[in-house]
Amino acid sequence: MFPPDSDLSLLSEPHNRRAWLRRFALPALALASIPRAEAFEWQVVQEDGRDYVKLEDIKTFYKFPRLLREGRNAWLRSNTMIIKFSTSAEDIFINNVKFCLSFPTSEKNGSVLVSRVDLAKLLDPIIRPTYIENAQGFDTVVIDAGHGGHDSGAVGSYGAEKAYTLDTALRLEKKLKELGYKTLLTRRSDVFLTLGERVAIANRTPRSIFVSVHYNSYSSSSAIGLETFALAPQGTATTYDALKSSDMANRRGNARDSENIALATAVHANTLYKLRSVDRGVKRARYSVISGIEKPGILVEGGFVSSPSEGARIHRPDFRQSLAESIAGGIGNFRRALMKRSSVPQRSAP
Ligand SMILES: [Zn+2]
């Protein structure tokens, strides 16, 4: 049960963002929302040919003490989590961290509706990672430095993505080893690897997760911020794209949907908190490295080399060190959340 509800000001005070991020990063979150023991009947609403559920049902199922509405916005609130929804929106905010939905929210008869896919593939693994079915323990992190060799990746005024990713990967390796993990780098020097070779390394490494490190670029130099990608669930579009027929295929990585989004959340939230980057969100993609792996995996875009300000920041070794340490911290939070599983009775996801 939740302690008494007391501090509504947290909903609107941005200076509390750090406190919320810190709490969000804590593994205690995993135990925050144990669902009811009695049977629960979800009321499914059809909109645009898809299944949706009402926020009122989500509130009841996960025992959020409060559901607040104000205009287009709605908030589910507990003592550890605030989820902000807006009607007809593609994004939600969990403890002020942005998540891109697979389908926009909707509204019917005064209730905000969330797609069943987003409930099962986004909200459930984040609200209660302890309930992720068949989650596998890991002791090894496969670190993939994006690009290399003739493939420079994005090139900014200060340097090339391939050099920054390799340096970040080596720093991440060092940090993870200090924390007791085994590590494997897909490349340790300025060489070219195909995406398939990177996937193969991940798939033959037992008890592992996969983290691909990249830096971004965009035609507008004003684009900045951190974005973290998890594989798009089967039958959903990649973030901000239209649905297409190839989205219907089941990819190997979809077997790990729940772990993928939980890992993305842990790394993204911890990195935002530590680096205070602009939050571009936890997004969905079908990049081959995260489509083809059989292990939980994510792709982190640590910032924009195309931005004069962020490019300068990325060029600084201390920034890349902080990024590496915050990714490592996020991995630790993910592992601790999963390890709580054994102490919680299991129940299937909605
Ligand atoms: Zn890249």
pLDDT digits (tens, 9 = 90+) for 297-335: 999 999 999 999 999 999 999 999 999 999 999 999 999
Distance (angstroms) between ligand 1 centre and the Cα of 155 equals 10
Rounded alpha-carbon distances, angstroms, from residue 115 to 50, 52, 121, 224: 7, 4, 10, 29
Could you read off the pLDDT of 133-184 as tens digits, one per residue? 889 899 999 999 999 999 999 999 999 999 999 999 999 999 999 999 999 9
Instruction: Mark the residues whose beta carbon lies below 5 A from ion ligand 1.
Output: 146, 153, 214
Distance (angstroms) between ligand 1 centre and the Cα of 133 equals 31
Distance (angstroms) between ligand 1 centre and the Cα of 190 equals 14
336: tokens are: 């601790």
Distance (angstroms) between ligand 1 centre and the Cα of 131 equals 33
- 100 in Cβ contact with 285 (< 8 Å): no
pLDDT confidence tier of residue 130, bands split at 50, 70 and 90: confident
Examine the pLDDT at 39 and tell me if it is beyond 80: no
- Domains identified in the chain and CATH numbers: 8-130 (3.30.457.10), 140-338 (3.40.630.40)
Distance (angstroms) between ligand 1 centre and the Cα of 81 equals 32
Distance (angstroms) between ligand 1 centre and the Cα of 153 equals 5
Distance (angstroms) between ligand 1 centre and the Cα of 214 equals 4
Distance (angstroms) between ligand 1 centre and the Cα of 145 equals 9
DSSP code per residue over 199-259: HHHHHTSTTEEEEEEEEE--SSTT---EEEEEEPPTT-PPTTSPP-GGGGSPPGGGGGHHH
3-state secondary structure 215-226: EECCCCCCCCCE
pLDDT of residue 198: 98
Residue 328 gets which letter from DSSP?
H
- The reported pTM is 0.88
pLDDT of residue 203: 97
Q: Is the dihedral of CA 224, 226, 228, 232 positive or negative?
A: negative
Could you read off the pLDDT of 77-122 as tens digits, one per residue? 999 899 999 999 999 999 999 999 999 999 999 999 999 999 999 9
CA 332, CA 295: separation in Å to the nearest integer? 16
Distance (angstroms) between ligand 1 centre and the Cα of 147 equals 6
DSSP code per residue over 143-209: EEE--BTTB--SB-SS-BHHHHHHHHHHHHHHHHHHTT-EEEES-SSS----HHHHHHHHHTSTTEE
CA 100, CA 153: separation in Å to the nearest integer? 25
Distance (angstroms) between ligand 1 centre and the Cα of 98 equals 21
Task: Please provide the average confidence, as pLDDT, over all residues in the chain.
Answer: 87
